Amino acid sequence: MNGILEVEDLRVEFRTYRGIVKALNGVSFTVERGEVFGLAGETGSGKSVTGLAIQRLLPGNAAIVGGRIVFDGKDLLSLKEEDMNKIRGKEITAVFQDPHTYLNPVFTVHDQFRDILLMNDREIASLKDKREVKKAVDNKIIQMLAEVQMPAPERVVKMYPHELSGGMKQRMMLAMAFSLKPKLIIADEPTTALDVTIQAQVLELMKSLQRRYGTSVILITHDLGVIAETCRRIAVMYAGRIVEMGGVDSVYNEPLHPYTRGLMRALPRADKDMKVESIGGSVPDLVGLPPGCPFHPRCSRAMEVCRKLNPKTLNIDGRVVECHLYDEEIAKGRVA
Amino acid sequence: MGAALTMRAEKSETGNDVLIKVEGLRKWFPILGGVLQRTVGYVYAVEDATFDIKNAETLALVGESGSGKTTVGLMLAKLEPPTAGKIIYRNRDVSRLSSSETKWYRKRVQMVFQDPYASLNPRMLIKDTIMEVMKVHKVGGRNSYDNAVELMTRVGLSEEHLYRYPHELSGGQRQRAVLARALCVEPEFIILDEPTASLDVSVQAQVLDLLKSLQDEFHYTYLLITHNLAVVRYISDRTVVMYRGMWVESSPTRKLFGGAEHPYTRALLSSVPIPEPRSNVAKQLLKGEPPNPTERVKACPFVDRCPHVMPVCGEKMPPTTWINGSHQVRCWLSVKK
Amino acid sequence: MRELRIRELKYSLHLFSSNKLVVIGTAIVLFYVFLAVFGRLIVDAGEPYRLDLKNALKPPSSEHLFGTDDLGRDIMKLIVLGAGYDMAVSIFVVAVSIAIGTVLGAVSAYLGGKFDEVFMRLVDILFAFPGLLFAMAIQMILGKSLFNLAIALIVVWWAGYARLMRGQVLAEKGKLYVRAAKSLGLPGHRILFKHILPNAIYPLLVSATMDIGGVMLSAAGLSFIGLGPTPFEPEWGALVNRGAPFLFVAPWIMFFPGLMILLASLGFNLVGDGLRDILDPRLRR
C-alpha cells in the first residue's frame, strides 16, 4: 500500500435536537502519494465532514463512531490530541473556501506567516541573532509570496486581510498551506468564492505547486469542472457514502452509478449546447435514513432490492461503485 | 381553480418589439469621509450600460466582481437611482419616477435576489409573505389564498409550503418561494440576480427548467445577471458582457460562444472549468486582479490585463464596432479589421 | 397550522429548559411575580402601619424570620408586601420607556437624514446628564413619591432604548429582505412597522427583561437616598434605606431587602439571557 492516506469504513455521527445525523456511513478510500484526489458531492453528501474528520477537527457535537484513518503509516484516530496537533499544520494542512476562517483581521500578512515560520522552520530556528532571524523571516515570506505569484509582495506584506482581494487571499492561503511542505493538503472548496478568471489562475497555481512539491491533495468541491481539470481520481459522495470512485477519465466518460450519471446530465455546459436533465426529488434527510440504497427514491432505475438492501461496495475493473445494478457482475465473476 | 391570475404580458403598445431599453446608464456611489462626511471620492460602479431587451426574451448580463452588473439590475429594479443615463420601458422614460409611478412600475418589473434566504423576512410564514404583496398591489381580492396556492404549484411547491418559515425550507424550495413572491404581482419583466448561485447542481437544473417553462407559458422577459457562463448558454437568447462598469461586447448567445471578439470575453470563456477530462482547451490566463472601481477609466477599461494591448488602448475609449447586425464590440482590435 | 405552532412552542421550551441557569432565573422570577401579585393575600396589608416599638430591632427568630426593624415591624412581611411596589415600578418604567424609545428611535432611523442627526444629538445630550442627578432633579420639581420616582426613571431610561432601536433599525434597513420588500412595492410605513420592527425589537425585549432588574436597582438606589416612597410604602430600596443607620446594630434590616433586590435582578438577567437564545429564529436547530 503506497497510499499516503488510507480511510477505512469511516463513520461519523452528529447529535442534534432532531436526532442522530449519520453524516458518514462507511467511507473508504485511499489517496496515493503525490496525487490530487477529488471528493465530489452536493450538500449533505458528507464531503466536508470527511475532510474535517481526517484532521480530527469535527465540531463538539460530532463523533467518529467507527473506522480507521491511517496517514503515512500512523493511525490518526488513536493519537492523543497533542500528537495530532503536531501533525496538523505541518504534515496535513488545510485550505478553505472562506478566508475569514483562518485569517486574523488584526494581523498583517507578514504577521500571519511570521509565527508559523518561527515555530516550524528549522533553518530559522537555528539562527541565534535576533536581527538575523528577522531578516530571514522577512526574506522567506517575500519568497513564499513570490512563489504564489502575489502581485507586489513587498507592499502586500504590510497589508491587512481586508485590504486584499479574494484572489490574493487565496494565494496567501496556498502559500501558508504549502509553506511547510506538508504531505497532504485538504482543500475544501478553495476557489468556489472566486471570480472565474481568478479561479483559473489560482487552480493553475495550485497545480504547479502540487507538482513541484509532490504534495497529495484532497480537493473537496461540488464543481465537477474543477475536478476534471485538476484531479487524477474522483470519489462521488451521496448521503454519507461513496457511491462511485475511479480515475477521472473513466468516471466522467462512462459513469456507472445513476447518481453520477444524473449529475453529469444535470450540468449546463458553457462549451456545448445540451439538454439539461434535472434529477428529481431532493437530498435525503440524514436523520433516520430508511433502509436500502439512499439514492433509490430519486433513481430512475431503482429496483425492488434497492428499497430493501444497502448495495455492497463493488470493485469492478479497478473502479468502485455501490449499486445493485451491478450485482450481476458479481455473479459473472468480474468483481474483485 | 381560483380566479385566474392574468399572467400574460400585455402586447406592447406600439407594436415595437423592445420592452426595455437602457442607454448610457451610469452609477457612481459617493464615498463619504472625514468628520463632516464630505464626498471624498466615488465608487464608479457603472460607467456605461447600454442594451435592449425584447419582449419575452432572456438577456444575460455577464461579468465578474467590479463589472457593475448587479448595480445595473438594482437600477432597473428602481432600488438605486441612476447617476446618469436613461431607462426606457415600453417607450416611456422611467429613469426617474414619482412614488405613485414607481408603484406602477413595480407591478410590472420584479427582481429576484441572489440570496433567497436573506431576501425573505425570517419571521414571516411564506403564506403571509406572498399574501401581503398581493394585498398591497390589490391582486386577487377574496381569492388571494387560492391564487397563492396556485402560484405555489406553478413553481413546483405545494400548499403546505405556505405554512413554513424560510429557515424550514431547503435552498431550492426557498428559491422557488422567492420566485412565487415575485410572480404574484403579475409582472412582465423579471430581473434574476444569480438565481442558481446558492443551489446544488441537481437543484440548479430544476430551477432553470422552471424558469424556462414559465417563460414559454407566460412570455416573461428576463434579465439574467450572472457570472456562470454555462447557465448563460443554457437559457439566454442574447448576452451582454460587462467589465469594470462598461459593456464590452453584446451578441446573440449562440454566436458569442462560437466567436467572441473581445479579449476579455475570450479569456472568460476559456477560464470556465469544463467537466470533461483532458479537454485540451488552452486557458487564457489573465494577469492581475479584477479592477478596483474607485478610479475612473479614461480609455479602455481592460487595458491593464489585456493580452493584446496596444498603445491606443490606454489613450482613448474604444468605439463601438458592429460585427454584424446583432453583434457589437467595444475594442480597438476590432476596429482594425 | 396549529401543529406548527405547537412544534415551535415545544422547541422553545426545550431551548429554555436546557440551560440550567435560565431555569433558575425563571424560578426566581416566577417566585417574585407570585409575591408581587399575591403578597397582599399572604400578609396583612396593614403591616407597615403596625408599630410595635417594644419589639423593635429584634434579630431573626422563629417568630420574625427576618427580624424586625426600628419600628418593630416584621421585615419578612414588609418584604413580601414590597415586592408588588418594585415590580409595578420596574415594569411601568421599562414598558413606557420602551414604548417611547422604540417608536422614536425607529422613526428616526427610518427617516434618516437631518431628522436623524438632530434627534441623535438630542439623545446624546440626554445621555450627558448623570442619570441619578437628573432623576433627583425631577423628583425635586415634581415632588417626592413613588410615582414621580417612576416618571424620573422613565425620562432617563427611554433614550437608551431609542439609541438601541435606532441601531437595530439601521441594521435591518440594510438587509436584503427589506430591499426585497421595497422592490415588491410595499409602502414605507408598512415595511417599517410590519417587517423591520418585529425583527429589530427582539434584542430590545431581551434588554428590557434584563433592565427590569436594572430599574429595580436604580429605584432602590434613589429610594436609598431618600427620594421616592413614603415610610409606609415598603419598597425594597426604601427598606434598605431605613436599615442604614442601624447597620452595626441590626444589620438584618438592610441585609434581607438588599438580598431580595439582588436575587430579583439576577433572576431577570438570567431570563433575559435565555430569551435571547429562543427568540432568534435563525439560531434555532
Q: What is the mean pLDDT of residues B68-75?
A: 93
Q: Report if residue B153 sits inside a domain.
A: no
Say if B127 falls within a structural domain.
no
Please indicate, yes or no, if residue C23 is contained in any of the structural domains.
Answer: no
Distance from CA of A262 to the nearest CA of B (A): 8
Domain extent for B332: 18-117+187-336
Look at residue C74 and tell me if it is in a domain.
yes
Considering only the beta carbons, identify the residue of C183, C281, C282 that sits closest to B79.
C183
**Sign of the dihedral defined by the CA atoms of residues C188, C190, C196, C202, in that order:** positive
Q: What's the average model confidence in pLDDT over C101-121?
A: 86
Q: Does A101 touch chain B (CB under 8 A)?
A: no
Distance CA B96, CA B108 (A): 16
For every residue of A157-190, which 3-state class applies, written as one string? CCCCHHHCCHHHHHHHHHHHHHHCCCCEEEEECC
CB atoms within 10 A of CB B274: 20
Candidates A14, A15, A16, A17: best to mutate against C (most CBs of C within 10 A) is A17
| CATH code, domain carrying C65 | 1.10.3720.10
Calculate the alpha carbon distances from B137 to A294, B56, B122, B152 in Å: 45, 23, 22, 18
pLDDT at position A286 is 83
Mean pLDDT value of segment B34-57: 86
User: What is the overall mean pLDDT for chain B?
Assistant: 86
**Segment 204-233 of chain B within 8 Å of chain A by CB:** 204-206, 208-209, 227, 229-233
Nearest in space to A39 (alpha carbons), one of A14, A10, A61: A10
- Inform me whether the C-beta atom of residue C174 falls under 8 Å from chain B C-beta atoms: no
CA distance C285 to chain A (A): 7
Is it the case that residue B14 has pLDDT exceeding 50?
Answer: no
A neighbour chains, 3+ CB pairs within 8 Å: B, C
* Contact residues for C240 (Cβ-Cβ < 8 A; gap 6+): C220, C223, C224, C254, C257, C258, C261
The yes/no answer to whether this complex scores an ipTM above 0.90 is no
On whether residue C5 sits in a domain, the answer given is no
Amino acid letter for position C215: V
pLDDT for B3: 33
Confidence of residue B141 (pLDDT cuts 50, 70, 90): confident
The domain total for chain B is 1
Q: What is the pLDDT along chain A (336 residues), one digit of tens a residue?
A: 568 999 999 999 998 877 889 999 999 999 999 999 999 999 889 999 999 999 998 988 899 999 999 999 889 998 888 888 888 878 999 888 887 777 888 888 888 888 778 777 777 777 778 888 888 888 888 988 888 888 888 888 889 888 888 888 888 888 888 888 899 999 999 988 888 888 988 898 999 999 999 999 999 999 999 999 999 999 999 999 999 999 999 999 999 999 999 999 989 888 888 888 888 777 888 887 888 889 988 888 888 888 888 888 888 888 899 988 887 766 666 555
Q: Would residue B112 count as lying in a domain?
A: yes
Sort out which chain C residues have CB atoms less than 8 A from B107's CB and list them: 185
Check CB contact of A282 with chain C, cutoff 8 Å.
no
Q: What is the pLDDT of residues B161-200, one digit of tens each?
A: 888 888 888 888 899 999 999 998 889 999 999 998 878 8
Task: Please report the pLDDT score of residue B11 as a whole number.
Answer: 42
Q: Is the pLDDT of residue B7 over 60?
A: no
Per residue in B303-323, pLDDT (tens digit) is: 888 888 888 888 889 999 998
Question: Rounded distance, CA C175 to CA C170, Å?
Answer: 9
- Residue B117 pLDDT: 85
A236 contacts A40 by C-beta, under 8 angstroms:
yes
Give yes or no for C127 touching B (CB within 8 A). Answer: no
Tell me the torsion sign for CA atoms B65, B71, B74, B76. negative
* Sign of the CA dihedral with C207 first, then C209, C212, and C214 last: negative
What is residue B259's predicted lDDT score, i.e. its pLDDT? 85
Q: Is residue B44 in some structural domain?
A: yes
Residue B112 is given by DSSP the state: E
Q: Which residue of C has its CA nearest to B115?
A: C176
Taking only the tens place, the pLDDT of each residue in B227-271 is 899 999 999 999 999 999 999 999 999 889 988 999 999 999 988
Per-residue pLDDT at A335: 57
Chains meeting B at 3+ CB pairs closer than 8 A?
A: A, C
The string of pLDDT tens digits covering residues C44-59 is 777 777 777 777 888 8
C116 pLDDT band, cuts 50/70/90, is confident
> Which pTM was predicted?
0.81
**C-alpha cell, A179:** 509553506
Closest among B120, A15, B122, B198 to C282, alpha carbons compared: B122
Quote the mean pLDDT of chain C.
81
pLDDT score at C175: 85
Domain count, chain C: 1
**Amino acid at the residue A99:** P
What are phi and psi for residue B60, nearest 5 degrees? -100, 130
Q: What percent of chain C stands above pLDDT 70? A: 94
pLDDT score recorded for residue B12: 40
Full residue range of the structural domain in which residue C90 is found: 31-283
pLDDT at B281: 65
For residue B280 the three cell numbers come to 485540451
Instruction: With a cut of 50, say whether residue B8 has pLDDT above it.
Output: no
Q: Which pLDDT band, with edges at 50, 70 and 90, does B5 fall under? A: very low
Higher pLDDT, C273 or A189: A189
Q: In this predicted model, what pLDDT tens digit does every residue of A291-336 receive, in sequence order?
A: 888 998 888 888 888 888 888 888 888 889 998 888 776 666 655 5
Question: What is the domain-level CATH number for residue B216?
Answer: 3.40.50.300
Nearest by CB to A42, from B202, B230, B273: name it. B202
CATH topology of domain A3-91+182-283: Rossmann fold (3.40.50)
In a domain, B182, yes or no: no
Domain boundaries along the sequence of chain A: 3-91+182-283, 101-181
pLDDT at residue A6, rounded to an integer: 93
pLDDT digits (tens, 9 = 90+) for C156-185: 888 888 988 998 888 888 888 888 888 888
Residue B1 has pLDDT above 70, yes or no: no
pLDDT tens per residue, range B81-97: 999 999 999 888 988 88
Cβ distance B275 to A269 less than 8 Å, yes or no, reads yes
